[in-house]
Homo-oligomer: A and B are copies of this chain.
């Protein structure tokens, strides 16, 4: 447990999240709403290996970033949920995505969510965190607030459409 040996906030954060996969898993649970082992395994953009996914899920559970519980609808399924600390990573991920979008060779359809999130600013992040608290912690969110997840997904799909068929908007 006392692996790295400094109490610096950034060092401790890196001990939790500073590897190639942990943050990607949290990203997929957050923005892709993946809640099961199989969904994370097969729908991962980056192609994580099953043993690594199993290891990271266990690790993140021990660290208090996610919880797992049997899925009431499918007996063999395990439902994964983000905890409050993980949900509070939204601003970090928003900033990290904005930075990557600005300085690295991103692909448009994968960058659009980062763009929406950046343009939305802290107000949008708060709404998104409330939505995640509803989905993952069962806390009702303020009524009348539209779904940020739906907005992000719609923007992504619109971008995919635009890419695959650039002239479509004029027809049908």
Q: Do B9 and A114 touch (CB < 8 A)?
A: yes
Residue A10 contacts which of B4, B19, B47, B93 (CB distance < 8 angstroms)? B93
A residues contacting the other copy or chain, number (CB 8 A): 44
Q: Do B105 and A12 touch (CB < 8 A)?
A: yes
Shortest distance between the CB of A43 and any CB in chain B (Å): 12
Q: Do B110 and A6 touch (CB < 8 A)?
A: yes
Residue A7 CB within 8 A of the other chain = yes
Q: How far is the CA of A14 from the CA of B27 in the complex (A)?
A: 12
Q: Do B16 and A18 touch (CB < 8 A)?
A: no
Q: How far is the CA of A92 from the CA of B114 in the complex (A)?
A: 14
Residue A46 CB within 8 A of the other chain = yes
Q: Do A9 and B47 touch (CB < 8 A)?
A: no
Please choose the segment from A68-76, A94-102, A127-135, A164-172 that sits at the chain B interface, where 4 or more of its residues have CB less than 8 A away: A94-102
